[in-house]
């Protein structure tokens, strides 16, 4: 806790926060009580599309802009809640016409275009299961995921179909319908249908399917940071968690303009790019374009974005450009910034204050948890480097692991670490609404995630005496050096405090004496040369900050770091490269040089 806490005063808050007092909110919250905020379907049913679209389209928000879509070239299209009701009805009607049944899986492989949002919401309306894939995936990752998901329908564009899907189509026997968006006057190729034509002829007033809270709704693949991506299934009831966390963790208010920069190919882009803002009835921005700091500053300014949810990789890339680039844009509307996906270095939290006058609020969750589990809140103190405290209604614990990394326990119940700032596996008490219900096709792997009442996240963390959660690292990335367990995040954060360092990736390199030694790959800021003198200076800097036991023993410069397309450093790839070993599943690797530009 080397970094001073950032306290909040009433002056820092431009609107009354949804969560004003953490202890009070925790004490009074129950999921059953929160359920009253959902509209629900008759007879206790639940459907995400109903909560996101129909309930608003039937009331005073009908003509409010739900999604402002910004095209690559800057053109915009405003879609109201009433528009979304019509367009998602049309898509649902197309599915009915094709004989697609409830719980059938509909894959969507497009860029961030309006048709993607119609397809996801229309699939949910129909009672199907929606699975969005990142448009930059090549044929193999697409094939792998559609096969695991047993996809019956795929929505894509003519170009993506030609280049990525046609070559693998024969390997996907369950894939009956391919729907192409944007054919214009062209005829669809054999085996595909013209979605725009089908939609134009479809019914725009289709009732929401009478799904139950536990019916499957969304399929998300994990980022593949540590291995082959897993397909996590979420149910309609998850919308309760999206609604609640939007209010409590992102502080969404009725008149907010919200921008979640994540692509819907990742869970963040669906849970917080689609479901949470719509369930909360706010206006959202969707940008078709790729990451470009100047473009992003412009979008924030021109759309009067009030709440911005982004990722550390984007923040770090903005930091690389320098503070003046950020300060050049007046952002008077912006009042809350949050980030997820990777550790947010204390440096970056503070940079938010320098650049925007607002700290960046780190929060933590995973594909498996479906929604935010641990967060820094608008009204509560930030301890830079901590991911914050659990959402009201979420219980977390640190579980003790043995030397092999297995959670220790008796009679099926894990042993909970109760000494503050002691490492163990971060776990969540099962039963929250957006808990994943299955890893598709991998029941054993699913079962192994649970010990007694607890879901084990695979991340290592510590709790301080006040319940703040401190990320140590992914269990798979932890370095064991001379009897110490070292989290790469701590080392990377320390290195990033040196003015020359833009980013760092730290991993364990086998060593005959220490077991593993800490090795760092460092990406320099513009204007710094990778000299031997700087290398030695950085090793010394690390030692001074961290002590000899934890500091990198080896340090090399890199021109880029291997990252997932969602911007996570793939330390397993750094390690494999160093050792000349096979690198494993690379389906989610961002082409290097782009720098992980797709948060």
Nearest distance from C-beta of residue 83 to Mg ion, angstroms: 36
| 144/306 with CB nearer Mg ion | 144
CB atoms within 10 A of CB 471: 22
Question: What sections of 322-395 are H helices per DSSP?
Answer: 323-327, 346-356
x-marked contacts with ligand ATP along 226-255 as a string, rule CB under 6 A = xx-x--------------------------
x-marked contacts with Mg ion along 219-258 as a string, rule CB under 5 A = ---x------------------------------------
Q: In this chain, which residue has its C-beta nearest to Mg ion?
A: 222
Which of Mg ion, ligand ATP, none is residue 126 near (CB under 5 to 8 Å by kind)?
none
Which of Mg ion, ligand ATP, none is residue 296 near (CB under 5 to 8 Å by kind)?
none
| 114/487 with CB nearer ligand ATP | 487
Nearest distance from C-beta of residue 374 to ligand ATP, angstroms: 8
Which residues is 556 bridged to in the sheet? 521
CB atoms within 10 A of CB 143: 20
- Stretch touching Mg ion by CB under 5 A, among 216-224, 234-242, 403-411, 579-587: 216-224
- Selected from 336, 436, 446, 471, the binder of ligand ATP by CB under 6 A is 471
Residue located via tokens 């300014």: 301
Task: Say how far apart CA 82 and CA 142 lie, in whole Å.
Answer: 33
Total residues at the site for Mg ion (CB under 5 A)?
Answer: 1
| Site for ligand ATP, residues 419 to 458, rule: CB under 6 A | 457
Nearest distance from C-beta of residue 6 to ligand ATP, angstroms: 16
- Stretch touching Mg ion by CB under 5 A, among 130-138, 157-165, 214-222, 434-442: 214-222
Secondary structure class of 88 (helix, strand, coil): helix
| 117/471 with CB nearer ligand ATP | 471
> DSSP states of 201-254 as a string?
TS-S--PPP---TTSEEEEEE---SSSS--EEEEETTHHHHHHHHHHHTS---T
CB atoms within 10 A of CB 356: 20
- Stretch touching ligand ATP by CB under 6 A, among 33-41, 221-229, 503-511, 529-537: 221-229
Nearest distance from C-beta of residue 512 to ligand ATP, angstroms: 29
| 96/594 with CB nearer ligand ATP | 594
**386 near ligand ATP, rule: CB under 6 A:** no
Among 585, 443, 567, which residue's Cα sits nearest to residue 141? 585
Nearest distance from C-beta of residue 274 to ligand ATP, angstroms: 16
| 80/380 with CB nearer ligand ATP | 380
- Selected from 157, 225, 284, 386, the binder of ligand ATP by CB under 6 A is 225
Secondary structure class of 182 (helix, strand, coil): coil
Backbone angles phi, psi at 225, to 5 degrees: -65, -40
Backbone angles phi, psi at 378, to 5 degrees: -55, -40
x-marked contacts with ligand ATP along 555-594 as a string, rule CB under 6 A = -----------x-x--------------------------
The beta strands (E) that lie in 81-222 are given as 105-109, 129-133, 153-156, 177-180, 193-194, 216-221
Nearest distance from C-beta of residue 459 to ligand ATP, angstroms: 5
Cα separation values, 440 from 222, 231, 426, 469, Å: 12, 5, 23, 30
CA–centroid distance for 264 within its chain: 9
| 283/565 with CB nearer ligand ATP | 565
Which of Mg ion, ligand ATP, none is residue 105 near (CB under 5 to 8 Å by kind)?
none
Task: Say how far apart CA 234 and CA 218 lie, in whole Å.
Answer: 5
Which of ligand ATP, Mg ion, none is residue 157 near (CB under 5 to 8 Å by kind)?
none
Instruction: Tell me if 85 sits within 8 A of 54, measured CB to CB.
Output: yes
| Site for ligand ATP, residues 324 to 383, rule: CB under 6 A | 340-344, 362-364, 366-367
Among 213, 232, 49, 50, which residue's Cα sits nearest to residue 131? 232
| 247/474 with CB nearer ligand ATP | 474
Q: Which residues are CB-contacts of 199 (< 8 A; sequence separation ≥ 6)?
A: 87, 90, 91, 94, 118
**474 near ligand ATP, rule: CB under 6 A:** yes
> And the tokens for 450?
């649970």
> And the tokens for 225?
């940071």
Residue located via tokens 């197309």: 94
Task: Say how far apart CA 523 and CA 510 lie, in whole Å.
Answer: 22
**Binding residues for ligand ATP (CB under 6 A):** 222-227, 229, 266-267, 340-344, 362-364, 366-367, 387, 457, 459, 471, 474, 566, 568
**Binding residues for Mg ion (CB under 5 A):** 222
């Amino acid at each position: 806790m080397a970094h001073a806490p950032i306290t909040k005063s009433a002056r820092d808050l431009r609107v009354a926060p949804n969560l004003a007092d953490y202890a009070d909110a925790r004490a009074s919250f129950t999921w059953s009580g929160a359920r009253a905020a959902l509209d629900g379907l008759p007879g206790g049913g639940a459907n995400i599309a109903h909560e996101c679209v129909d309930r608003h389209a039937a009331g005073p928000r009908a003509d409010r802009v739900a999604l402002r879509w910004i095209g690559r070239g800057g053109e915009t299209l405003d879609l109201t809640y009433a528009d979304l009701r019509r367009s998602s009805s049309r898509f649902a009607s197309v599915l009915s016409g094709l004989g697609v049944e409830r719980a059938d899986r509909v894959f969507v492989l497009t860029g961030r275009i309006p048709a993607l949002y119609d397809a996801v919401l229309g699939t949910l309306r129909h009672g199907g299961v929606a699975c969005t894939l990142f448009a930059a995936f090549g044929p193999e990752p697409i094939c792998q995921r559609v096969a695991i998901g047993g996809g019956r329908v795929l929505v894509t564009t003519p170009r993506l179909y030609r280049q990525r899907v046609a070559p693998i189509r024969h390997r996907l026997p369950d894939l009956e319908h391919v729907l192409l968006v944007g054919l214009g006057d062209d005829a669809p190729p054999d085996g595909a249908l013209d979605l725009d034509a089908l939609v134009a002829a479809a019914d725009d007033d289709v009732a929401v399917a009478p799904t139950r809270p536990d019916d499957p709704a969304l399929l998300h693949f994990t980022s593949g940071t540590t291995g082959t991506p897993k397909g996590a299934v979420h149910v309609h009831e998850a919308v309760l968690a999206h609604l609640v966390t939007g209010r409590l963790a992102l502080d969404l208010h009725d008149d907010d303009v919200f921008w979640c920069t994540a692509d819907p190919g990742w869970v963040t882009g669906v849970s917080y790019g689609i479901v949470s803002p719509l369930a909360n009835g706010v206006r959202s921005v969707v940008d078709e374009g790729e990451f470009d700091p100047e473009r992003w500053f412009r979008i924030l300014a021109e759309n009067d974005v009030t709440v911005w949810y982004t990722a550390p990789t984007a923040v770090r890339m903005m930091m690389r450009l320098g503070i003046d680039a950020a300060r050049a844009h007046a952002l008077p509307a912006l009042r809350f910034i949050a980030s997820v996906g990777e550790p947010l270095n204390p440096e970056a939290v503070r940079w938010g204050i320098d650049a925007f006058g607002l700290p960046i609020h780190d929060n933590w969750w995973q594909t498996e948890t479906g929604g935010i589990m641990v967060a820094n809140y608008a009204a509560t103190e930030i301890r830079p480097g901590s991911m914050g405290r659990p959402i009201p209604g979420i219980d977390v614990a640190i579980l003790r692991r043995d030397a092999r990394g297995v959670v220790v326990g008796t009679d099926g119940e894990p042993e909970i670490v109760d000494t503050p700032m002691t490492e163990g596996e971060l776990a969540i008490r099962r039963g929250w609404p957006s808990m994943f219900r299955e890893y598709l096709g991998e029941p054993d792997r699913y079962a192994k995630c649970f010990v007694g009442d607890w879901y084990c996240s695979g991340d290592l963390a510590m709790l301080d005496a006040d319940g703040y959660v401190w990320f140590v690292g992914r269990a798979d990335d932890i370095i064991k050096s001379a009897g110490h367990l070292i989290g790469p995040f701590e080392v990377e954060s320390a290195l990033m405090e040196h003015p020359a360092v833009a980013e760092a990736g730290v991993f364990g390199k086998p060593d005959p004496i220490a077991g593993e030694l800490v090795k760092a790959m460092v990406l320099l800021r513009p204007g710094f040369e990778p000299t031997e003198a700087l290398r030695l200076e950085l090793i010394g800097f690390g030692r001074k900050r961290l002590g000899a036991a934890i500091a990198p023993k080896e340090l090399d410069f890199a021109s880029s770091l291997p990252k997932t397309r969602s911007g996570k450093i793939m330390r397993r790839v750094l390690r494999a490269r160093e050792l000349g070993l096979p690198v494993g599943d690379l389906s989610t690797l961002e082409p290097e040089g782009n720098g992980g530009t797709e948060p």
